[in-house]
């Protein structure tokens, strides 16, 4: 049995889903492809592949950081990722409520809106 870790691209697909990753890679241009390569290698291959935190925990931390940074488009993808990683809707809601105190109510309101869009889309599917 190999101790080899999965590639960053494999981890990204496992967390975010093939459709999300295919869309991100398909939209890459000659200008933006180096960023996609960087994200696959360093975020997904380096940080998400580390031991010490499970993927559920990493997802909730990521949602928290993205809320604080007001990165609603990224939050949407990571809401899906958190659900793929086994987080519950309740855990996501509690994470966003917690962010209201530490990242600010306006940031949390926007994050709730982004999360609701994803949850509504997923419910329709």
Q: 114 with 64, same domain? A: yes
Q: Which domain holds residue 25?
A: 7-50
Q: What is the chain's mean pLDDT, rounded?
A: 96
Whether residues 67 and 124 share a domain: the answer is: yes
Residue 125: its pLDDT value, please? 84
Instruction: For residue 72, tell me if it sits in a domain.
Output: yes
User: Is 70 exceeded by the pLDDT of residue 73?
Assistant: yes
pLDDT above 70 coverage of the chain, percent: 98
Note the pLDDT of residue 116: 97
Residue 2 lies in a domain: no
**Whether residue 61 is found in the same domain as residue 122:** yes
Q: How far apart are CA 64 and CA 111, in angstroms?
A: 9
The pTM of this model reads 0.90
């Amino acid at each position: 049995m190999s101790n080899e870790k999965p590639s960053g691209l494999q981890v990204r697909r496992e967390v975010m889903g093939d459709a999300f990753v295919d869309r991100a890679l398909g939209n890459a241009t000659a200008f933006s492809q180096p960023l996609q390569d960087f994200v696959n290698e360093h975020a997904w291959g380096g940080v998400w592949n580390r031991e010490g935190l499970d993927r559920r925990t990493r997802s909730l931390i990521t949602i928290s950081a993205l809320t604080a940074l007001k990165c609603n488009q990224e939050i949407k993808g990571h809401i899906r990722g958190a659900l793929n990683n086994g987080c519950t809707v309740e855990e996501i809601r509690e994470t966003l409520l917690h962010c209201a105190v530490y990242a600010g109510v306006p940031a949390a309101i926007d994050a709730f809106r982004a999360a609701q869009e994803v949850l509504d889309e997923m419910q329709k599917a």
